[in-house]
Amino acid sequence: MNRQSTFVCAVLLVVGTISIGLARPLQLVYAHSFSGSESASFLSLVHKIRVESGLVLDNVGNATLARQHAENAAKAIDNQTLDEIAERNNRIANDLSSLLQDLQTAAASTPIDAASINDIASNLDATLGEAVSVRIDQEQLNNSTVQAIVLADVIDEALGNYGSAFEVGFDMTNMSLMDEMIQHTNSSVGDGGSMQGSNMQTHDNTSSSTAVNMSAYQSAQAFANKSLEIFQNDLKPLSPTGTAGGNNSSNLTAAISQIESSLVKLQQAINNKASPEEIIMIVHAEIHPNIQIVYKLQLLS
């Protein structure tokens, strides 16, 4: 009797363990918005200004684009953020404000003085570095979760700008649209129908699309490039190496490698003007889930 009950218990335990193991993969959650922190938001803002000021420099031969990027850089920071910087260091807040103003003025001048723009962009980069040093603790800078949120934010910037560039008519950062897209793909295969009533328009999977808003397209490209740079320089070195959250070492290594290759894929897709659906799938189905696995980000929506 004793042996029988032990055997039954053992069988139940094994069955229970297997059931839990089978059930967990079914709880697939695709990421879109991660719970953020003030540090991550500030770092994302710094990247945004750096990207846009770099694009001003890249467009010294095109006054319209240069002006648009200078305006984007200036709009990235608001008075509240400047006040927060001023609480730590008034000079840096003032320098930042005046450099962004100088950048707009220099971009609006005709002809654009490339040397002047270069000086301003260089000073702006250094001042942003100082702003980070006074605003963010070293501990936060070396926190993989903070850097992972920054990466997710910058990827969102790439998506948002890509959407504006091609006037896709829907929010590419909205995760829920991916489910619609999957359903649409399935129904299209079955009856060749299109998404009637949906605000999402279908696009060809060719590179023949023409950007309606070139400034936004350039920003999308630059943010995609910046995403890879952030991953390789800031996040990958902080990645966990051992077992984390039930993931073994080889799973983590595979996920980290997958993030990097997907970011390269995102870069190429944006450069090739791939369809918004393709871009969304790369971000929401490849990059975000792996970021969740490796860096344990919490979902907001």
Partner 1 sequence: MYLCIVASALVVASLSALPSVHAHQEFEFGQVTIEPGWATEPPLVEQLNNIEVLITAGPNNQPVSNAFANLTVSIQKGGLTKELAFLPGEETAGHYLAEIFPTQVGAYSLVFNGQVEGETIQTTVPIEDVEDVGRLEFPQSSGGSGDQQSQQITQQLGTILSDLSTQIDQTRQVAENTANNTQQSFQASQDSKLAADRAYLVGMIGAGMGAAGIIIAVTLSRKNSS
**Binding of residue 234 to partner 1 (CB under 8 A):** no
93, 86 Cβ separation under 8 angstroms: yes
Distance CA 77, CA 112 (A): 24
Give the interface segment with partner 1, choosing from 120-128, 144-152, 190-198, 276-284 (CB under 8 A): 120-128
Least Å from the CB of residue 86 to partner 1 = 10
Nearer to partner 1, 123 or 174 (CB): 123
Name the residue nearer to partner 1 (CB basis): 129 or 245: 129
Token pair in block for residue 33: 């918005």
Query: Is residue 253 classed exposed, middle or buried when 0-12, 13-18 and 19+ CB atoms within 10 A define those classes?
Result: middle
Question: Which of 75, 91 has the CB closer to partner 1?
Answer: 91
Rounded least distance, CB 132 to partner 1, Å: 9
* Nearest distance from C-beta of residue 90 to partner 1, angstroms: 6
Report how far residue 263's alpha carbon sits from residue 256's, in angstroms, rounded to the nearest whole number: 11
Binding flag, residue 91, partner 1 (CB under 8 A): yes
Q: How far is the CB of 125 from partner 1 (least distance, A)?
A: 8
Q: From CA 234, how far away is CA 212, in angstroms rounded?
A: 33
Q: By CB under 8 A, is residue 90 in contact with partner 1? A: yes
Q: Which of 123, 201, 253, 258 binds partner 1 (CB under 8 A)?
A: 123
- Which residue is it, tokens 């319209």? 64
CA angle 61, 46, 101 (to 5 degrees): 55
Question: Does the footprint of partner 1 cover residue 80 (CB under 8 A)?
Answer: no
CB of 42 to partner 1, least distance (A): 16
| Complex with partner 1: residue 92 or 291, whichever CB lies closer | 92
Residue number with CB closer to partner 1 (90 or 183)? 90
* Identity of the residue, 39 or 164, whose beta carbon is nearer to partner 1 in the bound complex: 39
- Please list, in sequence order, all residues whose beta carbon lies within 8 angstroms of the beta carbon of residue 102, skipping any fewer than 6 positions away: 120
Binding to partner 1 by CB under 8 A, coded x per residue (else -) over 40-79, reads ----------------------------------------
Supply φ then ψ for residue 247, to 5 degrees. -90, 135
Size of the site for partner 1 (CB under 8 A): 14
First to last CA, the chain: 52
CB of 127 to partner 1, least distance (A): 6
Q: Is 245 in the site for partner 1 (CB under 8 A)?
A: no
- Which of 41, 62, 89, 213 forms a contact with partner 1 (CB under 8 A)? 89
| Rounded CA separation 267/224 (Å) | 5
Per-residue HEC secondary structure of 184-227 comes to HHHHHHHHCCCCCCCCCCCCCCCCCCCCCCHHHHHHHHHHHHHH
260: exposed, middle or buried (Cβ count in 10 Å: 0-12, 13-18, 19+): middle
Instruction: Indicate whether 118 belongs to the interface with partner 1 (CB under 8 A).
Output: no
Neighbouring residues of 42: CB distance < 8 A, sequence distance ≥ 6: 81, 132, 135, 136
**Is it true that the peptide bond before 289 is cis, omega within 30 degrees of 0?**
no
Residues 124-183 that bind partner 1 (CB under 8 A): 125-127, 129-130, 133-134, 138
CB 112 within 8 A of CB 208: no
Question: Which residues contact partner 1 (rule: CB under 8 A)?
Answer: 89-92, 95, 123, 125-127, 129-130, 133-134, 138
